Amino acid sequence: MSNNDVLKKIRVALKLRDDDIVEILSLVDFKVTTTELSAFFRAEDHPSFKPCGDQILRNFLNGLVIYTRGTQDGKISPKLTITKTPK
């Protein structure tokens, strides 16, 4: 599974829009535009396809932690709430 696939699956699972992903990446001081981001979600045979590198995925996952849990100093982002289903 490629980094592009991982990014797509997380995006769908958490119902994230491109603006949300740009905001998540900005939380870890990683700047990306929605245009650059859309290249990661294209089909591999599309001329504008761009492979998602390890650095982008790593920064996205680090930003997602801050986005969902907040920072270590206790600031919490109310933007995303993930509900757990009871067993």
pLDDT digit string, tens, across residues 22-70: 999 999 999 999 999 999 999 999 999 999 999 999 999 999 999 888 7
Q: Which helix (H) or strand (E) holds 12?
A: helix 3-13
Exposed, middle or buried, 20 (CB in 10 Å: 0-12/13-18/19+)? Answer: middle
Show me where the domains of the chain are located.
3-69
Contact 67, 26 (CB under 8 A): no
How far is Cα 32 from Cα 75, in angstroms, rounded to an integer?
Answer: 24
Residue with token string 């396809």: 49
How far is Cα 87 from Cα 84, in angstroms, rounded to an integer?
Answer: 9
Which pTM was predicted? 0.77
